Amino acid sequence: MRTLLVWLAGGLTLVGSSQVALANGWNMPVGVSTLSGEIYGLHMTIFWICVVIGVVVFGVMFYSLFKFRHSRGAKASNFHENTTVEVIWTIVPLLILVGMAVPATATLQKIYDPSEAELDVMVTGQQWRWRYEYLGEDVSFISNLATPRAQINGEEARGEHYLLEVDEPLVLPVNRKVRFLFTSDDVMHAWWVPQLAVKQDAIPGFVNENWVEIQEPGIYRGQCAELCGVDHGFMPIVVHAVEEEEFDTWLAERKEAAAEEAMGIDREWEMDELMERGEGIYSSICASCHQPEGQGSPPAFPALAGNEQLISDKDWHVNKVINGVSGSAMPSFRNTLNPVELASVLTYTRNAWGNDTGEVVQPAEIAERLEE
């Protein structure tokens, strides 16, 4: 009897927790895109169908366990087959499944809607960051984890958006259809923002397509969803959805800033400004593998501090940063960083942590090399 009571209590807890599941933070978000609400609805429909089936099946089961107990002197019947019943419980689930498949198919067709988009964004996964390129707009940037390592290691209090914050969020307009093209520079990644109900694998050498139309301005956060190596847990996604005018202004500013930066390529840069800028770029892009003090973590990530080849062979060093190393986590930064940024980070790594080559790598030099 006690056994049964505990079983019953367990059953009630299950039902109870499914009720709580409706509360926020316990369930799939309704989301803010044109399709996310529909996907949420589909999820809840199937969930409730499962609950009903579960209540019926477990109901009969627990009734039997309670009613037909040996200890209560129950005598077993002799039946062991019944064609009618067996046919019914084959056909009825089949019908329920058809009932589920109809709305699921409709939603899937909407997801595959290829109608023209107003904005194309190329999303490239890279160990371990995302790169966004607004196709045809000359605007592209990379987006790194912004949470300080000190928070991860518990040396600092963790912020509200711990691990879900980036240095440069993806900015998108609301009420415009945005087409995403996904690819990867190294291993497979997956771009996922729950509020947008978009999850798509980024596959090296291949391109995948998906789209979103956001309906509400806001900040939406997600993470890489496909195991991609050591820092898989540390490549978040942040989307800033803004009103259309605000987006247009933002895009124009980005273009202007890029143009301004391009103007600066030709001038002679001082060591100090390059070092300062380089340090910032190094800590947001390079430090996760090569470590904050350039000590690396061999064998996977070679040390930069005191690296003989790096110190003695500038051309080799420049080549590695621009073109990357195939089959390793070192990507090509040719299209990721502009000449000023490349020159800054090269200058920094050639002079920091006792590398002291005293060499200043000028943006002009890099620009020329890229244009050859």
Residue type at 266 in one-letter notation: D
Give, as ranges, the residues between 181 and 220 that touch other proteins (CB under 8 A). 181-183, 185-188, 190, 192, 194, 197-201, 203-209
Q: Does 369 bind other proteins (CB under 8 A)?
A: yes
Residues 153 and 109: their CA atoms lie apart, in Å, by: 45
Q: Is 254 helix (H, G, I), strand (E, B) or coil?
A: helix
* Of 141, 129, 207, residue with least CA distance to 171: 141
Q: Does 3 bind other proteins (CB under 8 A)?
A: yes
The arrangement of strands across the sheet holding 139-143 comes to 139-143, 129-134, 119-126, 177-184, 208-213
Q: Does 358 bind other proteins (CB under 8 A)?
A: no
Give, as ranges, the residues between 92 and 111 that touch other proteins (CB under 8 A). 93-94, 97, 100-101, 104-105, 107-109, 111
Give, as ranges, the residues between 145 and 164 that touch other proteins (CB under 8 A). 151-154, 158, 160-164
Nearer to other proteins, 264 or 296 (CB): 296
Give, as ranges, the residues between 267 and 306 that touch other proteins (CB under 8 A). 298-300, 302
Asked whether the beta carbons of 345 and 318 are under 8 A apart, the reply is no
Q: Does 120 bind other proteins (CB under 8 A)?
A: yes
Q: Does 172 bind other proteins (CB under 8 A)?
A: no
The number of residues that bind other proteins (CB under 8 A) is 137
What binding mask, one character per residue, do residues 313-332 give for other proteins by CB under 8 A, x or -? ------x--xxxxxxxxxxx
List the structure tokens of 114.
Answer: 């290829």
Residues 28 and 40: their CA atoms lie apart, in Å, by: 7
Q: Does 335 bind other proteins (CB under 8 A)?
A: yes
**Over the range 86-119, which residues count as b (16 or more CB within 10 Å of their CB) and which as e?**
eeeeeeeeeeeeeeeeeeeeeeeeeeeeeeebeb
Nearer to other proteins, 321 or 360 (CB): 321
Q: Does 241 bind other proteins (CB under 8 A)?
A: no
Residues 178 and 117: their CA atoms lie apart, in Å, by: 6
Q: Is 213 helix (H, G, I), strand (E, B) or coil?
A: strand
Residue type at 17 in one-letter notation: S
Asked whether the beta carbons of 314 and 359 are under 8 A apart, the reply is yes
Residues 357 and 103: their CA atoms lie apart, in Å, by: 65
Paired residues of 210 in beta bridges? 180
Options 88-96, 169-177, 253-261, 270-278: segment touching other proteins (CB under 8 A):
88-96
Nearer to other proteins, 204 or 273 (CB): 204
CB atoms within 10 A of CB 69: 13
Give, as ranges, the residues between 43 and 82 that touch other proteins (CB under 8 A). 43, 46-47, 50, 53-54, 57-58, 60-61, 64-65, 68-71, 74-82
When binding is defined by CB under 8 A, the residue of 32, 33, 34, 39 that contacts other proteins is 39
Asked whether the beta carbons of 145 and 76 are under 8 A apart, the reply is no
Nearer to other proteins, 86 or 356 (CB): 86
When binding is defined by CB under 8 A, the residue of 177, 219, 234, 287 that contacts other proteins is 234
Nearer to other proteins, 107 or 279 (CB): 107
Nearer to other proteins, 153 or 268 (CB): 153
Nearer to other proteins, 134 or 351 (CB): 134
Name the minimum Å distance from CB 215 to other proteins. 17
Nearer to other proteins, 203 or 352 (CB): 203
Name the minimum Å distance from CB 17 to other proteins. 7
Residues 6+ apart with CB under 8 A from 322: 332, 333, 334, 342, 366, 369, 370
